[in-house]
Structure 1
Amino acid sequence: MLIATERLVLRRFRPGDAETLAAYRSAPEVARYQSWRAPYSVERARYAIETMAAADPEQPGWFQYAVELKDGGAHIGDVGVNLNDNLRQAEIGYTVAPERQGRGYATEAVRGVLDQLFRVRGLHKVSAECDARNVASARVLERLGFTREGLLRGHTWIKDEWTDDLLYGLLEVDYLGPGAPS
């Protein structure tokens, strides 16, 4: 276990997570705003997990946390952190299985990661980017205190269309300071 919240455990991916990873990444409503296409095969999930398991959360680059429920241990999603070479900035991304969405799990999981990044590791800034049509994802970021810093119009060519991207940022001083989100 790397991070624990009230209802969740964020940990390294394990080989046994391949089927659930493939299942939620195959859901059209999950894949819609992501870089992968559905269906997402179990073989592809196994390869992704091998790659994720080799990553080090303390080193620059992507590290992917598996998100599981404390009660029952079900694997329900993931949170990725792309640590900058300067070790003071990071980008985050997150995915939650469709049947678990709308219950605050994404907010809770990302808050757990933000606590780790800001309170323990002393990062200066965490950024996030999302498809402008992904209203639920934007709401999660705003609920956590992120500031919308920009809109990149027609910025990303994905799944045979140009999409607009929203840019968000959260500074350590805003996350930890007076009036910070709880």
Structure 2
Amino acid sequence: MEVFPLETARLMLRPFTRSDLPAFTAYRNQPDVARYQSWSSYTEADAEAFFAQQDGLVFDSDDSWFQIAVERKDDGVLVGDVAVHFFDDGRQAELGVTFDLSCQRLGYAQEAVSAVIQLLFAELGKRRLVATVDVLNLRAQRLLDIHGFRREGHYRENIFFKGTWSDEYSYALLSHEWQRPEAAVLRARDA
């Protein structure tokens, strides 16, 4: 099944290309973007290694992370990416989101994540989606809340992260929760 490109009102979601790497490296090096991510700095070599790993990767392959490039349709600018980790023999997926600081608070992440959730549940039949976020990452928590994710756990000092012990929240959303009529109303309201 060919799933890309995936279009929303303002965005084009697609696999990464080598020409995305300069913009990708630039936003990954923004301190406020890297703050809750596993990297502190992101080099051209890191971007090349990322691209080599992604190039030719098949979407919906179990035990893989697939990064979806998010491009603004009106000018072709790469605004961020949505990562999808497929696991549990294709029954579940984990989400991660990274957006250029200048493109945050404009609804792009919400629009992109909504399209990815639609794809994973409605087209690919996933049972459950999960995400893990730092307890201080309020924007990511809000993004998950908007899409109906439940906070399932609070892991206290579970990760030694950038020189200190940090707490994380785990979130999940089941397909049948996402399909409820009231969830559809909330999605339409927040769109």
TM-score, normalised relative to structure 2: 0.92
Deviation sequence 1:13-45 (CA, Å, 0-9, x none): 00001100110000000001000112x112211
> 2:136: which partner in 1?
133
Q: Give the secondary-structure state (helix, strand or coil) at the position aligned to 2:182.
A: coil
Q: Give the secondary-structure state (helix, strand or coil) at the position aligned to 1:179.
A: helix
Q: Counterparts of 2:164 and 2:147 in 1: how far apart (Å)?
A: 30
Give the alignment's Cα RMSD to 1 decimal.
1.0
2:50 maps to amino acid: A
> 2:91: which partner in 1?
88
List 4+ stretches of structure 1 deviating above 4 A. Answer: none
Q: Counterparts of 2:126 and 2:20 in 1: how far apart (Å)?
A: 29
Q: Counterparts of 1:18 and 1:47 in 2: how far apart (Å)?
A: 11
1:159 maps to amino acid: K
Q: Does 1:114 align with 2:117?
A: yes
Gaps of 5+ in 1: none
Q: Counterparts of 1:112 and 1:127 in 2: how far apart (Å)?
A: 16
Q: Give the secondary-structure state (helix, strand or coil) at the position aligned to 1:54.
A: coil
Deviation sequence 1:86-143 (CA, Å, 0-9, x none): 2111100000000000011111111110000000011110000001100011000001
1:118 maps to amino acid: F
> 1:45: which partner in 2?
47
> 1:102: which partner in 2?
105
Quick one: percent identity of the two aligned structures? 39
CA drift of 1:46 comes to 1.9
Q: Larger deviation: 51-60 or 149-158?
A: 51-60
1:27 maps to amino acid: Q
- Please point out which of 23, 26, 29 is paired with 1:26: 29
Gaps of 5+ in 2: none
